[in-house]
A and B are shown apart, each in its own frame.
Chain A
Amino acid sequence: MVFEIPKIEYSGQIKKVTLGSDNSAVTVGGETSYPFHLFEGGVPNLPRIAMEIYDTPPDDWPEAALAPFEGVIDDPVNWAKKCIDEYNAEMICLQLLSTDPNGLDRSAEEATAVVKKVVDAIEIPLIVWGTANHEKDTEVLRKVCEVCQGKRLVIGPVEEGDYKKIAAAALGYDHTVIASSPIDINLAKQLNILLGNLGIPEEHIIMDPTVSSIGYGIEYCYSVMERIRMAALTQQDDKLQLPIICNIAKETWKTKEVKTPETEEPKLGDAKKRGILMEAMSALVLLLAGGDVVVMRHPEAIKLIREIITELTTS
């Protein structure tokens, strides 16, 4: 008798969502099986990595994270280009840190000008990530949607508390929204329903279930994502059949384990290696749970993840 790997019967499929416009557009989603279960079903689109850049020089990044971007961190356009030219980025995620009302509190106009410059300078999909402050994001992201009409941006986070106005602008100017909910399958689903009620087509939504680093509750995120995929693929829950994006880099690089220099805590070992591994392993966990897009930072961590994806998907 020949051994047969037991197979799961799937009844659902993740929607395909196309990010970006024209020739450079990238399609994610479309899975008919659990992550990397190539032996069971189709994984038509492999997971993608978006490289993050900031609209203002970050002041809390450890040395190891800054080094690869030396000379460009004060210019988002050059930063994006460096990611593309040197590190082969497939997508860029622009984090609008400077708009934080508790920080620099830059105006919607200023932020929009930066987004516009970046989007005009690159030919790959652009994700624009706000600060999760409802009032400010509403102001900023609506403006961004308007000014970047036709660029098919990926705009977020869109949360229950601010979804209406931001999503309406995204709908009006033809962008994709990031439906962001706080680590709960029901809340994720509820937001998708609300967005649907607003008239946002499903192929314009990507879900952000909220993620955290290894050591900071990633098991919980894993479990929620796993349940989302089970509901979507085996329980015909069409409100959850959407691709997932994980904004993980900033979560890993802010942890104590990554930020503490080797001089302070020799036992922890090489700080650069630590940071890279923490980022890569966190990203891997989330990919295994069902992430379709991971937002990453360090080129070496990205390289590692690319290799793993290749290994897991070539027979």
Chain B
Amino acid sequence: MAINSKCPRHNVHFEPDNIIIQVDTGANLMETAIAAGVHINASCGGAGVCGTCNVLVKSGQVESTRTDKVSQIDYNNGIRQACQTRVFSDLNIEIPVGSRLEKAVLSREIEELSTQKPVALVSGWSFKPPVEKVCLDLPIPTIDDNVSDLSRLLRVIKQRCNLENISVNADILSGLARILRKYNWQLTATILLETNSNYRVINIEPGDTRKSHYSLAFDIGTTAVRGQLLDLNRGMVISHCVDYNRQISYGEDVISRIAWSQKTGGLKRLQEAVTATLNDLIKRLINSAGVEFQSISYMVVAANTVMTQLLTGLDPKYLRLSPYVPTISSVPLLKAKSIGINTEEHVHLYIVPSVASYVGGDIVAGILGAGVHQSDETILYIDIGTNGEIVIGNSEIMLAASCSAGPTFEGGGIKHGMIATSGAIEGFEINSLDFEPVVSTIDNAKAKGICGSGLINVAAKLLESGIITQNGKINTDFSTKRIRKGEDGYEYVLCKKAKTQIGKDIVITEIDLDNLMRSKAAMYAGYQTLAKSMGINLTNIDRVIIAGTFGNNIDIKNAITIGLLPDLPRERFVFIGNGSLLGSRLISFSSDLLFDGETIARKMTNIELSENVEFMSNYMAALFLPHTNMKEFPSVSIKKGK
């Protein structure tokens, strides 16, 4: 079409959000949605290959390339991939359930966060936050003692706190004279521990404000950001919040984020997306706790290396190129405001140091929280996620690895996969006589899909009942209508159409099972490779610590049945919830732990699995249910043929 010299603009109306935005003709629909603040899932970051960004064009004219991700029937009915679609007239767009991000999704998690018992396995630390508020009464100046205001302040601080090396933030100086005199030379100084024995006065307030002294702790995940507001006087959590990382609109995994960051202005947009997420969470955290914005004194963030670099605006390009070198592993203490986080000028941001490109501060924080570095027992620490992170170690040695388990456990790559939210099939039992399933969903809502923990339960039960064979194929010898041939090969019907929210049967396909096997095989091969590097067998593991919010909902027995977890006695497994957040919180509470974190990051050895021959061999052996080597799984018995 001819390009007019005057570019026409069109109104695009998004439902059900009911948001209208005006864009130039020819604008990409995905980008339009992002600009409007309307979320559309986009696992692949707009490359057109994932098929998660389908939208319904209810009226108006678009141009769109049909890929094999949209069936001809859907295409005829107006379904388009947002990332492949350009706007050519006013539009009415409906975002279907499958492409929508639901805020309600995380409600269950918030509930869990607030009921979670504070499990800190780490010990031997004292409550001593790295930021302290001290209330000082300065001697009133006289003609005999007329040193400058600042010298007076520092003199008193040195005496009171018994400090040698203390410096001052220049920005406190402008208000200094006024503040000192406001309440008759009584003031509260906020002192930050910078390094082992260097302190810095970062803020002064008139009078005694010690009561309002808070810190923020965040775990920035690729998918979700979790935050807590901490009372630094009482050492407790006073509010929690969770939300999706707004970077999701630019791709669901770290690799697609890195790819996005390479576009013009991409890095900046990704940084803005994550700081916007943080700012929104901060607002919610302080509002729900009724805390003043000014009383935040400190902030700790733990994140994977890619998230860390995107947060601090560092180009993550080289993280994904061999030999996988991060720009920095230890981010210097910086002012939160300087990277766009909405806090007072004096709030410093501590980012938990990372080990390598794919072993980030989130793991270091988790290891810290779990006390692995202090343990005489040998611990296997697992964080199951898109990037499965694994550490084996004790007080003497720690080996870490990250293996690409894929998005399966978060519902990705599964035909009816979804994140653990209302309507996700989680509980699953099967009648061994007629092979009819009994499913239960989160919130007992009508079924909408199947979540990661549900997938594990389904696969384990199907395997035990012989409906799937050890190579993850559906056994077609059984006579039940639940087994049938679908468009992706054989499938088992978990939930009939009438009982679902989505208007079609919810099934598990052989492709789903293949993806699950690959994910679990990557994790298991990771444990084996690390154990071997350590010179031990998995049976020598004294304790398995499972971190991550997904981990909390795993049925250990079923996870062993499919070979996701090593076959060890149940009592050796411990759940700690979100280890990364736990570690960040503890660092806010104790400078002892802050230094422990630094030590852990230095001490931990990264084993690069992507180029490890042994890992590949272990992986092949683990591509079986539960494993090719059944001796690794003595407690699992498999039903033999007729």
Interface residues of A (CB under 8 A from B): 160, 164, 184, 186-187, 189-190, 193-194, 196-199, 237, 239
Do A194 and B620 touch (CB < 8 A)?
Answer: no
Stretch at the interface among B103-111, B551-559, B572-580, B634-642: B634-642
Contacts of A187 in B (CB 8 A): 620
Do B471 and A160 touch (CB < 8 A)?
Answer: yes
Do B628 and A197 touch (CB < 8 A)?
Answer: no
Question: What per-residue 1/0 map shows which CB atoms of B459-472 lie under 8 Å from chain A?
Answer: 00000000001110
- Given A189-B628, A193-B470, A194-B471, do A184 and B620 touch, yes or no (CB 8 Å)? yes
B623 interface neighbour in A186, A198, A237, A239, Cβ under 8 Å: A186
Do A186 and B641 touch (CB < 8 A)?
Answer: no
Sample (17) of A-B pairs whose CB atoms are under 8 Å apart = A160-B471, A164-B477, A186-B623, A186-B628, A190-B470, A190-B471, A190-B624, A193-B624, A193-B628, A194-B470, A194-B471, A196-B640, A197-B470, A197-B640, A199-B641, A199-B642, A239-B630
Contacts of B470 in A (CB 8 A): 190, 193-194, 197
B621 beta carbon closer than 8 Å to chain A: yes
- Given A193-B628, A193-B630, A199-B641, do A186 and B471 touch, yes or no (CB 8 Å)? no
Question: What per-residue 1/0 map shows which CB atoms of B440-476 lie under 8 Å from chain A?
Answer: 0000000000000000000000000000011100000
A194 and B628 CA atoms in complex are apart in Å by: 10
Q: How large is the interface on B (under 10, 10 to 19, 20 to 34, 35 or more residues)?
A: 10 to 19
Question: What per-residue 1/0 map shows which CB atoms of B596-638 lie under 8 Å from chain A?
Answer: 0000000000000000000001001101100011100000001
Interface residues of B (CB under 8 A from A): 469-471, 477, 617, 620-621, 623-624, 628-630, 638-642
A190 and B470 CA atoms in complex are apart in Å by: 8
Closest to B638 in A: A197
Inter-chain residue pair count (beta carbon < 8 A)? 38
Contacts of A189 in B (CB 8 A): 621, 628-629
Contacts of B642 in A (CB 8 A): 199
A193 and B641 CA atoms in complex are apart in Å by: 11
- Name the residue in B471, B623, B640, B642 with the highest tally of chain A Cβ atoms < 10 Å from its Cβ: B471
Give the Cβ gap from A183 to chain B, nearest Cβ, in Å. 11
Give the Cβ gap from A224 to chain B, nearest Cβ, in Å. 11
A304 and B338 CA atoms in complex are apart in Å by: 81
Do B628 and A190 touch (CB < 8 A)?
Answer: yes
A116 and B617 CA atoms in complex are apart in Å by: 42
Closest to A199 in B: B641
Contacts of A164 in B (CB 8 A): 477
Give the Cβ gap from A38 to chain B, nearest Cβ, in Å. 30
A198 and B466 CA atoms in complex are apart in Å by: 11
A184 and B620 CA atoms in complex are apart in Å by: 9
Closest to B475 in A: A164
Contacts of B471 in A (CB 8 A): 160, 190, 194
Give the Cβ gap from B231 to chain A, nearest Cβ, in Å. 54
A127 and B108 CA atoms in complex are apart in Å by: 61
Contacts of B630 in A (CB 8 A): 193, 239
Contacts of A160 in B (CB 8 A): 471
A194 and B473 CA atoms in complex are apart in Å by: 11
A164 and B470 CA atoms in complex are apart in Å by: 13
Contacts of A237 in B (CB 8 A): 629
Contacts of A193 in B (CB 8 A): 470, 624, 628, 630
Contacts of B477 in A (CB 8 A): 164
A184 and B622 CA atoms in complex are apart in Å by: 13
- Given A197-B638, A199-B640, do A186 and B469 touch, yes or no (CB 8 Å)? no
Do A186 and B617 touch (CB < 8 A)?
Answer: yes
Contacts of B629 in A (CB 8 A): 189, 237
A46 and B471 CA atoms in complex are apart in Å by: 34
| Extra 14 A-B pairs, beta carbons < 8 Å, given A186-B623, A190-B623, A199-B641 | A164-B477, A186-B617, A186-B621, A187-B620, A189-B621, A189-B628, A190-B470, A190-B624, A190-B628, A193-B624, A193-B630, A196-B640, A197-B469, A197-B638
Give the Cβ gap from B620 to chain A, nearest Cβ, in Å. 4
Contacts of B469 in A (CB 8 A): 194, 197
Give the Cβ gap from B473 to chain A, nearest Cβ, in Å. 8
